[in-house]
Amino acid sequence: MTKPSNSALILIEYVNDWLSPTGGIYPQFQDREQVDTAIANSKIALGQARARGMHVIHASLKFESTYKVLGESKYGLRKMMRDYGSFLGEQADFFPGFEPAEGEHVVRERAGGSSVFVGTTLDGYLRNNGIFDIYLAGFSLRQCVESSMRNAHDLGYHTNVLWDASAGYTRKQQEDFLAEIAPFYANALTTQDFVAQT
């Protein structure tokens, strides 16, 4: 691992909509054990990143009630977010234990894209701070985390995914990600691997 000041932990979608039992997206997870494990491991990774002095970046979405920024949204995630009423009000608040600390960068200006790089300040923030080693974790593994991983790879970042601090909707999604997707775009690490790095 490079110097902590040149590396970042990027937490994707750690908000009530995903992680609270009252969240609108929460019921979509069919593998509750995977989600609970991801939350527990994410807390470990976040504590480790802060202790090391790494950059910590919180990426999520927050919309106004008309979803005007999404446009007509005929299909895909932009339509689904409107249909589910996602990322509004308290549902878009950070889940307890994952609130940004003072000085941590927050990315919320995505206009419905699945990658946290598209239409946001993230790439500029990373490059302006000399950060090229990044660690991604979050929800959902096969949508926002995977899209962000692919984008980061193409932008030239040294990309790592903390796969057991992330969750797909099913166990098969996680298994397929590890076997078929991650090897082409990133280094797949466990939280224990991350903690063990010096």
DSSP letters of 117-171? TTTSSHHHHHHHTT--EEEEEEB-IIIIIHHHHHHHHHHT-EEEEEGGGSB-SSH
The per-residue pLDDT for range 46-95, each reduced to its tens digit, is 999 999 999 999 999 888 888 888 888 787 877 888 777 788 889 999 99
pLDDT band with cut points at 50, 70 and 90 for residue 2:
confident
pTM of the prediction?
0.94
pLDDT confidence of residue 46 = 98
Amino acid, res. 67: Y
